[in-house]
Structure 1
């Protein structure tokens, strides 16, 4: 019998020694009475060096029990207990204690089983990090199988589609986003991905609450051993704001290019007009009122003046006109212009002004600001053929860097904002993209020149400001002009009037430099006829040689 018992003990011992878990048998004072090979190897001591010592001395280098020790709980409750502890070397363990009873059912010891869960815990922590990144991502992330059934989705996906998770997981893409959208835009790209290729592209998708958004998608096939491709993982990014900024940058670059072209053409054309209208005026000045062809010359001059006005607008758009800035209160300019506007817009349009008190001064050319107000008012009038309301408003605004980063033309600082709002027909996005281009108009043939808003754009730019437009069809339009606030006191000087007689020369010498020969000759003649002695040159070198 003893041989059988001995043999059984050896078999049990061999079995326990083969396990990777640490197993010890302890008395009720937590002294080790027996330990398997894993326990011995974990502390690099012989079995004889473990027997008789307290478990907390061996594995925890402590002189007392660990707080919440599951072995102590097992002894006191008489039931198996489990818990987790961290040893001084930083490793984490799961411990399970089983109470041991004698023939009289008294608890005489406890069996301890320990698992090293350090790597498991690390993996859990990594998984938590990934899940946090997964759920916290602003991108829409999801996985589907080959049957287009959702396996997992993140919070952003649920937010965009306004669905709880239990209405997405286990359902097909078509059931969640709609059959038409799935078949027309989503399925073709997913099918390409399920053939084993990563697929990228852009889509415009209309979401339940967010409306139309520009989305950039990336699909990656998932594989599983012998099964091959089992589905895909998708990352979908909302690029609506980015695309809007790119469009604004392209529009700004286009306007700059058009401005340079218009300015160059206008400059050359202006030289020709100076010669045409100048010599026409000279002829009219010297010819008698009864001259047979005087009326023909007057018609030439009238046409030349109209062309000059057109060129002046082009120069305003291209920011090549000469400004005469003054530091002033914008409210005063608006109040003065409002009287003229009432006659300009007609009786069927109500005019309201809301002018901010203590408005910051601005350094502007008052004549050009009046031109901005008139052009925008005329544009608003034409958008309200059945009448309506035109509102002019001023306010102080301060823009920070966070606000400015969404609009390329903006810069941080203090500004005065002039807004002109109408209740007219409004505009769609396509029209808004072109309204500041020279000669662009939505009016019928022969109505307007298409230069009114381009002139406004040029004047605002030349004053180092910018203009913002918001409009929707049927909901009117609002133009907001931002001008830099100025921090010095207002100019209170009155302009002095000088009579033309004071400009008459008395033999004074003038050096005239002009590279356009026709303009040079005309100007030289006019100055000569007005009493000046003129020396002329076509460039700086010739002028220095005189």
Structure 2
């Protein structure tokens, strides 16, 4: 017996016709029986389409037989299952003595798919049976019936069989249409569905939604354990086994499953609702399991996010309302918290609106009182009354300062400090403030970190808290001050919403006083709340501490128990920078000078007072009531050594713009701001902008004198250092060789145009002079220039508009605008950012500085 069969030889010897088509319905192979019944040669068939070789009857417009044959083959391709045509008429060649002739034959055909490794149809095997004779018997039967029976019983039986075969084929067509409709519904169903056959749960059907769920991998024909190996251990295989064994369905809700949707990718967690429904046959056996469900991952995650958000909100509400009275209802607690926040915000807004005018009034009163001291010298009673009035001004200034601190709008000047050194430096001050009957113990932790805070305000905080502790201890007890390092973790931050996790320097101040009951502790940071007798406290001390700590980015917490004392813990953020050296305040005698100071102040009373103070100190004083007047003075060419300007001024020109243009026109000028309320003009994030000097209102004559003298002394030192720097470099500004520039000069006045050209050429630059904007634009189109030097007023137009158009055409072009009054070319709204205004009249030196300035900005 041979070891193997030659299947090709076997098919060739078969009396039944067989042929094989590829996916394109092209001949791949045909056996001898097929070639014989179709009167064909194999070499004429291979590679050609079935419908090209046998197009059926071209005279039949519907070509029904060819259409039915094609539909059967397409069903095999799409469904990957066999398909049968019980009866199909088809015209094929037949060999005769005179050669091949086309003859109508009747066939019964079976089409079987041959699948590749991926489960796709690679080839189609066709097996046909020629039933022409049976069909003719049926036709004879029909004729016999017409003649009332003249055929044999055998012929009648065969004809009956053929009729039943045709009826079966028509029924199959109807069933096939219904089957295709159901498949479409199954395939396009929004929920995922599949059918698992047998105890191994082999995938027989799966719709698009199921394919999308598992990542579009091939599963048909494979057991579930092989098709979805990553589900092993998640309990689903065991559920399928139980349903198949018991016949009881399983319904699952919100089930998590981990799937590998892409090859090599990590597992993804999805959530599903599903039903395992056993398919029970008529004999009671279970043939498989129908799986149906929905992917609810997006819905589950949305629900989880909503739950987490709700839990987070509930935790915040619990934390924020825990300190309120337990007997109050939740609604009243929320209302009280809202009312408290609105009250604090209202006080902050009121503070910002009133502080400027209030401090201006204090400045006028205090300044005039100090000026009166000179006139009333020698009268002891008058001097005593003056000192009393000046003391009241100081108290008013402190009150305004406390309000600003509470509102977190005071201008801080933070620097890197070592908290331990600051506290130890206050030992003597604290002992004097607390008295001999209070023991002070200071403990500084080893390796204490640096922090970033305003040292003056921090000293006020420590002193304020120490005095509060003294009052709580009624003048006798122990005050403990500790400084150490602390880390606040995420858990602590969750319990305290105003805390950011990280490293902090902790300051703890503990007293042995009377302590505070819960109802007092809840309101301790509220402004104007105090338990002290009338006249002994403003209720702003702890509010000021709270505002300063919050503005510094820290966190404050009070722990207190009646009869046992109070501990206040303040956390300041850690700084990784090195501690900055402390500059001692100038406490020497008041000095004046002879320099020129420009005072810009919109309040006439304040302006008069400060001008008189500066004149008494020997300075030359110029004054302006708004920014526009100040710019006019700056552009006049007068030498000015210091600009002293209020921060908040009326009019379109802000104080910061005056300062910027002052430095542009006079690079060595000093700028000193003053204000009772800075808002966010020169203060951002509660801190003064870098390089900004501020003298807060109200200020004393001594404070003004020392601040002005210190800034002018810095200016003198800076000017004195310039020649030395030039000599060390081996050159002076005059000896520095500069590259010549190509300058386009636009000036309609012939005399000015001629003199400006000579000055520019004297500076070593090349000049092309024109008298109008039109001529200038022509020159710009023809040649390249480094600088456009134009008058602000031109015939029929504006030099500013010319400059805008020139810069639009040549973005690298630099612009100088000669002006007798305006500064519009420097405004950002004008679209000429970086342009320089040169006030008229100008000389060679000023023209040279303007060129240096405009080219330096390049």
TM-score (norm 1): 0.54
Superposition deviation, residue 237 in structure 1: 12
Counterpart of 1:440 (choices 526, 529, 536) is: 529
Superposition deviation, residue 373 in structure 1: 1.0
Superposition deviation, residue 455 in structure 1: 2.2
Q: How does 1:424-439 map to 2 (within 5 A)?
A: 424-439=513-528
Farther off after superposition, 453-462 or 481-490: 453-462
Q: Counterpart in 1 of 2:545? A: 456
- CA change 1:340–1:363 in 2 (3 A) is same
Q: Counterpart in 1 of 2:249? A: 118
Contact 1:372 1:456 in 2 (8 A): yes
Q: Counterpart in 1 of 2:723? A: none
- CA change 1:384–1:360 in 2 (3 A) is same
Residue 536 (structure 1) aligned with residue 623 (structure 2): yes
Q: Counterpart in 1 of 2:593? A: 505
Distance 1:87 1:319 in 2: 64
Superposition deviation, residue 522 in structure 1: 0.9
Q: Secondary structure at the match of 1:426?
A: coil
Residue 370 (structure 1) aligned with residue 459 (structure 2): yes
Counterpart of 1:423 (choices 512, 533, 538) is: 512
Farther off after superposition, 321-330 or 351-360: 321-330
Q: Secondary structure at the match of 1:404?
A: helix
Q: Secondary structure at the match of 1:117?
A: coil
Distance 1:458 1:88 in 2: 63
Residue 516 (structure 1) aligned with residue 666 (structure 2): no
Q: Deviations over 1:390-448 (max 9, x none)?
A: 22111212233443233232123221110112232222343233222332101112222
Distance 1:544 1:368 in 2: 35
Contact 2:316 2:497 in 1 (8 A): no
Q: Counterpart in 1 of 2:563? A: 474
Q: Counterpart in 1 of 2:317? A: 242
Q: Deviations over 1:115-173 (max 9, x none)?
A: 42233xx47x889xxxxxxxxxxxxxxxxxxxxxxxxxxxxxxxxxxxxxxxxxxxxxx
Superposition deviation, residue 312 in structure 1: 2.8
Contact 2:448 2:505 in 1 (8 A): yes
Q: Counterpart in 1 of 2:448? A: 359
Distance 1:312 1:88 in 2: 75
Distance 1:423 1:292 in 2: 44
Superposition deviation, residue 352 in structure 1: 2.5
- CA change 1:367–1:292 in 2 (3 A) is closer
Residue 545 (structure 1) aligned with residue 627 (structure 2): no
Distance 1:514 1:487 in 2: 41
Q: Secondary structure at the match of 1:289?
A: coil
- CA change 1:430–1:241 in 2 (3 A) is farther
Q: Counterpart in 2 of 1:24? A: none
Contact 1:527 1:534 in 2 (8 A): yes
Residue 92 (structure 1) aligned with residue 242 (structure 2): yes
Contact 2:435 2:475 in 1 (8 A): no
Q: Counterpart in 2 of 1:300? A: 389
- CA change 1:387–1:241 in 2 (3 A) is farther
Superposition deviation, residue 463 in structure 1: 2.4
Q: How does 1:153-192 map to 2 (within 5 A)?
A: none
Q: Secondary structure at the match of 1:311?
A: helix
Counterpart of 2:347 (choices 258, 270, 277) is: 258
Counterpart of 1:323 (choices 379, 396, 412) is: 412
Question: Which of structures 1 and 2 has the bigger CA Rg?
Answer: 2
Farther off after superposition, 317-326 or 268-277: 317-326
Q: How does 1:256-295 map to 2 (within 5 A)?
A: 256-290=345-379, 293-295=382-384
Farther off after superposition, 291-300 or 281-290: 291-300
Q: Counterpart in 2 of 1:525? A: 612
Q: How does 1:40-59 map to 2 (within 5 A)?
A: none
- CA change 1:498–1:294 in 2 (3 A) is closer
Distance 1:529 1:237 in 2: 64
Distance 1:89 1:463 in 2: 61
Distance 2:542 2:237 in 1: 76
Q: Counterpart in 2 of 1:27? A: none
Distance 2:345 2:449 in 1: 29
Superposition deviation, residue 365 in structure 1: 2.6
Distance 1:306 1:342 in 2: 23
Q: Secondary structure at the match of 1:485?
A: strand
- CA change 1:332–1:528 in 2 (3 A) is same
Q: Secondary structure at the match of 1:440?
A: coil
- CA change 1:263–1:437 in 2 (3 A) is farther
Q: Secondary structure at the match of 1:392?
A: strand
Contact 2:499 2:555 in 1 (8 A): yes
Q: Secondary structure at the match of 2:516?
A: coil
Contact 2:599 2:623 in 1 (8 A): yes
- CA change 1:116–1:237 in 2 (3 A) is farther
Contact 1:245 1:406 in 2 (8 A): no
Farther off after superposition, 414-423 or 531-540: 531-540
Q: Secondary structure at the match of 2:317?
A: helix
Where relative contact order (Cα < 8 A, 6+ residues apart) is larger, the structure is 1
Contact 2:199 2:244 in 1 (8 A): no
Q: Deviations over 1:206-233 (max 9, x none)?
A: xxxxxxxxxxxxxxxxxxxxxxxxxxxx
Distance 1:254 1:357 in 2: 42
Counterpart of 1:409 (choices 477, 483, 498) is: 498
TM-score (norm 2): 0.36
Distance 2:364 2:472 in 1: 39
Superposition deviation, residue 240 in structure 1: 6.4
Contact 1:251 1:433 in 2 (8 A): no
Distance 1:264 1:238 in 2: 34
Distance 2:415 2:238 in 1: 77
Distance 1:370 1:242 in 2: 35
Aligned residues: 337
- CA change 1:323–1:285 in 2 (3 A) is farther
- CA change 1:436–1:538 in 2 (3 A) is farther
Q: Deviations over 1:77-97 (max 9, x none)?
A: xxxxxxxxx9999252597xx
Distance 1:326 1:88 in 2: 68
RMSD: 3.7
| Structure 1 unaligned blocks of 5 or more | 1-57, 63-85, 96-114, 128-235
Distance 1:435 1:243 in 2: 20
Distance 1:60 1:320 in 2: 77
